Structure 1
Amino acid sequence: MRKALVLLILLNLACTAEKSTEDSSVPFALEDSFTTPLGKTYSISEPSDALLTKFEEAKADFETNPNDLENIIWYGRRTAYLGQYRAAIAIYSDGIELYPEEPKLYRHRGHRYISLREYDLAIADFEKAAELIQGTENEIEPDGMPNALNIPVSTLHGNIYYHLGLAYYLTHKYDKAYEAYIKCRESGSRYDNIVSSTHWLYMIQQRLENPAKADSILAPITSDSTVIENQSYADLCLLYKGQTPVDSLLQEGIGNPSNDAVRYGVANWYLYNGDTAKAILLMEELVESKAFSSFGYLAAESDLMYYFKSK
């Protein structure tokens, strides 16, 4: 019965997206699986009752007032949380037709281009979003999946630069990735923002073979600061500072964004310390996980396809 309900909701979504994009160049097809660039095919997970409820609420709000910016954003976000990335992109693209100068739409569409490995399109969207926020006041970005304390830890500006940096990193444009993550770290003083951006800044400078500069980047990291959401990045930063043993970080099991982030960071730690074989092994294990759109998975996939083959 529940499976039938899920199918009905997704079919309604397909009809809505098809109708909203009939004059658009953005392709849309209902997705039940995804094949990665490495040829691994994953079924789109059946959503939880909570995700379906939130999606139905967002869809109802959108249908009541489809021209409202927040309704468009949340309909797209809730659609993406169901694993329907093409449908979400179609919704955001339709929104951009109405609000071509709205950075939030480019920010969210760019994220889903990343999920689909369409990195050039993602970079274009995030660069456009970064251009549009120049001279504007930063703002807290509400969480679609709130943390345990229900305290949002990210901002619009921070998320734009974070994802822009990620898209550059995944295409091995390390100098540009570094510039984006510096802007991300400067966008907010909350410690969760500091550890997440510092993690990537450190890895980038290690990739650029600047270990001294990488170490200097760790200056804001302390073991007694409070982390609300990004504990995995905080732990990795302490590993980089030599304050946490590497064996304490790898958790049993992979396939969720937090564990995947840690495994990718640990893999790179082995790479920096001369154990390339161990680094590759951890990344190969990572791309066997089910979380095919987690950032750790994406980074490991890109490295296995391009970085190690260029060495």
Structure 2
Amino acid sequence: MLIVFTATLISCEDSTRLPALPPGAEAISLLGDTLRTPSLSPDLFDEYNRNLLEAVMEYRVDPEEMDALIWLGRRTAYMGLYRDAVRIYTEGIFKKPEDPRLYRHRGHRYLTLRKFDLAIDDFKMAEILMRGSEDQTEPDGLPNAAGVPQSTLKSNVWYHMGLAHYLKGDFENAVESYRKALELDLTNDMRIAVLYWYYSSLKRLGMDADAGRLIAEVSEEIELFENQTYLNLLLVFKGVFDSDYLMEVEEDAVQNATLGYGLGNWHLMNGREERAFKIWEEIVKEGFWPAFGYIAAEAEIARIRG
């Protein structure tokens, strides 16, 4: 009931540029498959649904308040309703087109829906609107165990813009985006995430020496709140960890799209293309389709199939 009601809150014309899809479908994958609203465990569903109800109430108090609208969009997305989240952010853009946060969040959900060019357009607009302004810490909708936010508006814009380029196979522009991200004052967690995709982009361009220098200072001693898998993968790339060790220590390794894509990436970097694609095919077969690692695996398979 609440999910249906949430969608009715969006009063603006649907200018999201998303194609019409059958009921329950959120997107079409890069391989042509219909992607439906992901299922949640009963406990998670109840938690996310309560949070969404609170966001709905806050929005109804003042529909012109962008903080409330952004949280409504985020809580809607956590329920797996990514198209509705895009509509919410689009409404916000109609109301306050100068707010870069709206483009940042809508771009993120365009990424989820495999609309990479639309995502890049939004991130570019966010970057323009952020120029000359101070960065701001971004509150976490799904906080880490310590409850300490790890990213900012500007770092998220550059990080996700780089990812959009990477997923398109445009590694040159991905490198430029990640270079911009590293110019910011990043937390350890955000820096490690940026370094992972930056390194991967450089390797795809054959810039092995630059890639090696980029992660020269990465070590096991770096303290993190939430991006341990990215750090572990970088240590595999450096030869510090063995890939089999990661499969042993990571919980639910088969389902972990981040780990799976990264290990496939490592095999590809070392000339084991068949092994890489086997891993990526397993991710696409069994994984959680909104995850960035899943989308990256999907993009790799789509490119090889032409």
Tell me whether the two structures share a fold, i.e. TM-score over 0.5.
yes
| Partner of residue 254, structure 2 | 254
Q: Identity over the aligned pairs, expressed in percent?
A: 38
Q: How does 1:3-14 map to 2 (within 5 A)?
A: 8-14=1-7
Does 1:212 find its partner at 2:209?
Answer: yes
* d(CA) in 1 for partners of 2:287, 2:213: 35
* d(CA) in 1 for partners of 2:34, 2:91: 29
Over residues 33-57 of structure 1, what are the superposed CA-to-partner deviations in whole Å (9 max), with x where a residue is unaligned? 3442324345421461110000000
5+ long unaligned stretches in structure 2: none
Over residues 128-149 of structure 1, what are the superposed CA-to-partner deviations in whole Å (9 max), with x where a residue is unaligned? 1111111211111000000001
Give 3-state SS (helix, strand or coil) of 2:285's partner: coil
TM-score, normalization by structure 2 = 0.92
Q: How does 1:41-190 map to 2 (within 5 A)?
A: 41-44=34-37, 45-46=39-40, 48-190=45-187
How far is 1:31 from its partner? 5.4
* d(CA) in 2 for partners of 1:290, 1:245: 23
| Partner of residue 24, structure 2 | 32
* d(CA) in 2 for partners of 1:88, 1:109: 8
Instruction: Give the number of aligned pairs.
Output: 296
Change (3 A) 1:164 1:233: same
Give 3-state SS (helix, strand or coil) of 1:100's partner: coil
CA RMSD of aligned residues (A): 1.7
Over residues 122-165 of structure 1, what are the superposed CA-to-partner deviations in whole Å (9 max), with x where a residue is unaligned? 00000111111112111110000000010011111100000000
* d(CA) in 2 for partners of 1:254, 1:59: 36
> Residue type matched to 1:197 in 2?
V
> Residue type matched to 1:188 in 2?
D
| Partner of residue 235, structure 2 | 238
Over residues 251-306 of structure 1, what are the superposed CA-to-partner deviations in whole Å (9 max), with x where a residue is unaligned? 44433xxx211111110111111111001101111111241010000011111111
> Residue type matched to 2:227 in 1?
N
Does 1:280 find its partner at 2:267?
Answer: no
Does 1:16 find its partner at 2:13?
Answer: no
Give 3-state SS (helix, strand or coil) of 1:221's partner: coil
